Amino acid sequence: MIRINIDKLYRFEHKAEPCSIGFPIPAGALTTTDNICLYAGGMRLPLQSKATARYKDGSVKFVFLRFLADIPAYKGMTVDCDLNGSAEGAAIPFNPVTVTELADGLRIESGADSGLCIDLKNGSDSIFEQITAGNRTYGKDVFEGPVLNEKGQNGTYTLRTGTWKVIENGPVCAIAAVKGSHTAADTEKKIDFELRLTAWAGKPWIEAAYRIINTDDAPLHINSLRYELHLDHPEGARTCVANSNYGTSYSVSEEGETITKTIDADWIMQEANEHFCEVFHGTFFADVTGKNDGIAATIFQAHQNFPKALEADRNGIQIMLVPEGAGEVIMQSGMAREQKFLLHFHDAEETLESLNDRSIVYQMPNRPYVSPEVMKESGVWPRIFADKSDFTVEQALISRGDGHCRAYGMLNFGDGYDSNYTAQGRGNGKLVWVNNEYDYPHACALLFARTGVTRFLDYVIASATHWMDVDVCHYHKDPMFLGGQWEHTAGHVINGRQLCSHQWVEGLLDYYHFTGDERGLETAIGIGHNVQRLLDTPAFAKVGEANARETGWALRTLTALYLETHDESWLAKCERIVNDFRVWEETYGHWMAPYTDNTLIRVPFMIAVAVGSLMRYYNVFPNEELKAMILRQVDDLIENCYVKEWGLFYYKELPTLNRLGNNTLLLEALTYAYDLSGDPKYLTYGIETFKNAMEDRQGYSSTKRKVEDTVLVGNASAKIFAQSMIPLSIYYRALAESDIDYR
């Protein structure tokens, strides 16, 4: 039996609240998810389950559950998960959500409790063909868009959907998806989009997740992007646009007058807010309620993804995903970005307070979680769990996790800039975005697993969704670039490069396991294929021409994909990289990297990357020769790069570069040497680096400034935490095992 926790959050009770959770299972413990049962208060809960990963023996590695729970007012609760239940005990009755394939589309029905029935048609110029909610039917003419308008000669585009497909088919949650295009008038220019609709059992609301993709060679200068609900209330209506920060501010007209609110950079600069914005900033919804019915629309994370606007009048609602005149949104070629909104169909008696409650819960849903002990016992994570607990260490890790720069803006939220890269001029005077360098989402996922603090899961979701959209190439006339991740650069992709050393996948896989969104896996596989193509280029034809970081990160990526999929096609390049390291050592004596035209030097942190990646491969395919090679390279680092007087490793092996370093990746290499040899002497060389890292706490900052198309909060690059989470946690685990006094 596994205990699922839901922390206290809202002061109102929420009946049959949709919840979801993903967590790992020990190898061999579960072969199918069909027998899983959830219990709360002695009752069996409505449940929908799937395995998102399996071990090589076929047993379940990660399970993802969707369920409905009665969450009490301002109280936490627990749910018991029986992995091999027999469906004993009384079940909570509910009307399941279903998806039915029609001759020319799909029908989603949310169950008798909501009366919500949604018809979707293939090849349509509208998302919805018809929606029935209660006693009211809304025809196709009610729904328009999304309508794309581009600055310049192309103007307004027309929309056409493709063929709808079922992603999930209940009973708790249903998801349907479609691909389509916006076409410019009198031209052949097309801008693609993807759309996902999510409905829940018994609920009168549906989420639309719209992802626009610039499938043109030129940048797309969006003038406006809007979705419209045409509602005719000649007799009058209550109109409202509401925005919250701490309390919600309502602008209301009982006569159906037009109300508009816009969130732009100036709004964000002037609005005091102390929330961790990945978790919550505020809510933003519009409502039109007539004599018999009403519709409310909430934009998800509108503040974080500004510019956004809402307008409500007696004739309907305008959901402006990019409002005209509220700031520039320029999507570079191959860039995508998903924006989401909730349509809530309700009766005329629904109060604004009730609509506001649902809107806020949509922004900040309950995040069920399992304990760190469950995470540890699964055996799927790196060895980040220490048997002892030092408050100073725990506090430092959490401080590093929270202390990154936040960036507001539709194309920037979920990423951060790097002040050093920017100051070095790498962006030609523009901000240089780190593009989730060193796999920031994976670091957050590990901290979530290690602590059970749910905001780190929100960090995973915000950063991974940005990464999948903005930092990955979705279109390019040269297929070499497709699916690849861009290296840190200005504007996320401008003059960008794709390198083996700047492409990761583990955080995307974590995102998939925690959210059930299969696009995380798909994006990771696309990155893996890009890395494979890069390894076939002339740059990697000669052993030693590329530094240890390049092939090291590639090995880490490909090994992770093999572990995820068990597809042996990922191993061909892995085996080649491992052999390259053998030849490299034989040729140069050690892993030396070219620097000037006539020098070969040791670069400690790059060698540490290679050691870390080889260790991941060794954990899957252990052998004595590989173990010995790893230990030789760590010994060489200690002999040639460790400055005994200061207890630190230097930066690079040249007189001009051998300043003292503090790169925590060295701790990872030292820890693996300890794990392989059992000799605690390796840990002693990292004590000063570890102590310095514990004292270097960034902390959360609320200082804001407007730069280019973003509002920045704080300065610390997210790559600091991304690079250090694994080294610090596994090194501390090793210190605790060996009883070394590091203080």
359 and 396 fall within a common domain: no
Q: Provide the CA 378 distance to its chain's centre, in angstroms.
A: 22
- What three-state secondary structure class fits 231? coil
What is the structure's pLDDT at 465? 98
Last residue within a domain, chosen from 478, 502, 536 = 536
Q: What six digits make up the tokens of 306?
A: 């500004």
Residues 596 and 675 in one domain: yes
* Any domain includes 740: no
Is pLDDT at 548 greater than 70 in this prediction?
Answer: no
Q: Residue 497: its pLDDT value, please?
A: 95
In terms of Cα–Cα distance, which of 617, 673, 597, 618 is closest to 642?
673
CB 626 within 8 A of CB 618: yes
- 549 and 685 part of one domain: yes
CATH number at residue 76: 2.60.40
Q: Which of 323, 342, 363 is the C-terminal boundary of a domain?
A: 363
Other beta carbons within 10 angstroms of residue 565's beta carbon come to 17
Confidence of residue 551 (pLDDT cuts 50, 70, 90): confident
Instruction: Tell me, yes or no, whether 565 lies in a domain.
Output: yes
Assigned token pair, 463: 């950063």
Q: For residue 78, what are the domain limits? A: 2-82
* Angle made by CA atoms 739, 741, 743, in degrees to the nearest 5: 145
How does the average pLDDT of the chain come out, rounded? 95
Residues 143/152, Cβ–Cβ less than 8 Å: no
Q: Is the peptide bond before 604 cis (omega within 30 degrees of 0)?
A: no
Q: Enter the tokens of residue 247.
A: 């309390």
Instruction: Please check whether residues 323 and 419 belong to one and the same domain.
Output: no
- pLDDT, residue 546, reads 63
Cα 362 to Cα 300: distance, rounded to the nearest angstrom: 7
Residue 548 lies in a domain: yes
Residue 736 belongs to a domain: no
pLDDT at 85: 83
Given a cut of 70, whether residue 96 has pLDDT beyond it is yes
Place of tokens 């609900």: 229
Predicted pLDDT of residue 545:
61
In-domain check, residue 19: yes
Given this model, what pLDDT does residue 592 score?
86
Spatial distance between the Cα atoms of 92 and 98, rounded to a whole number of angstroms: 18
- C-alpha span between 61 and 573 (Å, rounded): 25
Mean pLDDT of 622-637: 97
Rounded CA-CA distance 706/546 in Å is: 39
In a domain, 662, yes or no: yes
Q: What is the pTM of this model?
A: 0.97
CA dist 456 and 433 (Å) reads 21
Q: Which tokens belong to 260? A: 């508009």
Q: Which of 234-243, 694-703, 710-719 has the lowest mean pLDDT?
A: 694-703
What is the model's pLDDT at position 245? 83
> Across residues 564-568, what is the average pLDDT?
98
Instruction: Examine the domain organization and report whether 146 and 225 are in the same domain.
Output: yes
Answer yes or no: is pLDDT of 115 > 90. Answer: no
Backbone φ, ψ for residue 149 (5° rounding): -125, 125
pLDDT at residue 367 in the model: 98
**Beta carbons of 165 and 108 less than 8 angstroms apart:** no
Question: Distance (Å, rounded) from C-alpha 33 to C-alpha 13?
Answer: 30
pLDDT at 153 over 90: no
User: Do both 441 and 574 map to the same domain?
Assistant: no
Residues 6 or more apart whose CB falls under 8 angstroms from that of 89 comprise 37, 39, 42, 43, 44
Instruction: Of 158-172, 426-440, 464-478, 539-553, give the lowest mean pLDDT range.
Output: 539-553
Looking at 291-448, which runs of residues are DSSP E strands? 293-299, 308-313, 316-322, 329-331, 336-347, 406-408, 432-433
Decide which of 485, 515, 536 is a domain's last residue: 536
Does the pLDDT of residue 188 top 70, yes or no?
A: yes
Proportion of the chain above pLDDT 90, given as a percent: 87
For residues 329 and 469, membership in a common domain is answered with no
Domain with residue 660: its CATH number is: 1.50.10.20
For the segment 538-551, the average pLDDT, to the nearest whole number, is 73
Which regions of 201-266 does DSSP assign to beta strands (E)? 205-213, 220-230, 238-244, 248-253, 259-263
Could you tell me which residues come within 8 angstroms of residue 171 by beta carbon, excluding any fewer than 6 positions away?
46, 48, 94, 96, 97, 98, 201
CA distance 157 to 185: 6
Q: Quickly state the pLDDT bin for 195 (edges 50, 70, 90).
A: very high
In a domain, 158, yes or no: yes
Is the peptide bond prior to 96 cis by the omega test (within 30 degrees of 0)? Answer: no
In the three-class reduction of DSSP (H, G, I as helix; E, B as strand; rest coil), residue 76 is classed as coil
Binned at pLDDT 50, 70 and 90, residue 540 comes out as confident
Distance, in Å, from the CA atom of 468 to the CA atom of 472, rounded to the nearest integer, reads 6
Mean pLDDT of 217-224: 97
CATH of residue 181's domain is 2.70.98.30
Cα distances (angstroms) measured from residue 380 to each of 15, 24, 33, 398, 498: 34, 7, 18, 22, 29
Burial per residue of 215-252, b for 16 or more beta-carbon CB atoms within 10 angstroms, e otherwise: bbeeebebbbbbbbbebebeeebbbbbbbbbeebebee
The answer to whether position 191 is within a domain reads yes
**Token digits of residue 47:** 């449940």
Is 161 found in the same domain as 70? no
Same domain? For 78 and 110 the reply is no
Examine residue 219 and say whether the peptide bond preceding it is cis (omega within 30 degrees of 0). no
Residue 167 sits in the same domain as residue 246: yes
**Which residue's entry shows tokens 């100051």?**
423
Structural domain count of the chain = 4
Residue 518 identity (one-letter amino acid): E
Q: Based on the fold, state whether residues 355 and 268 are members of the same structural domain.
A: yes
Predicted pLDDT of residue 544: 59
Q: What percent of the chain is modeled with pLDDT above 70?
A: 99
Compute CA distances 81 → 29, 220, 444, 490, whole Å.
Answer: 14, 48, 25, 46
How many CB atoms are closer than 10 A to CB 594? Answer: 13
Q: What is the DSSP letter of 306?
A: -
On whether both 235 and 114 belong to a single domain, the answer is yes
pLDDT in tens, 369-423: 999 999 999 999 999 999 988 999 999 999 999 999 999 999 999 999 999 999 9
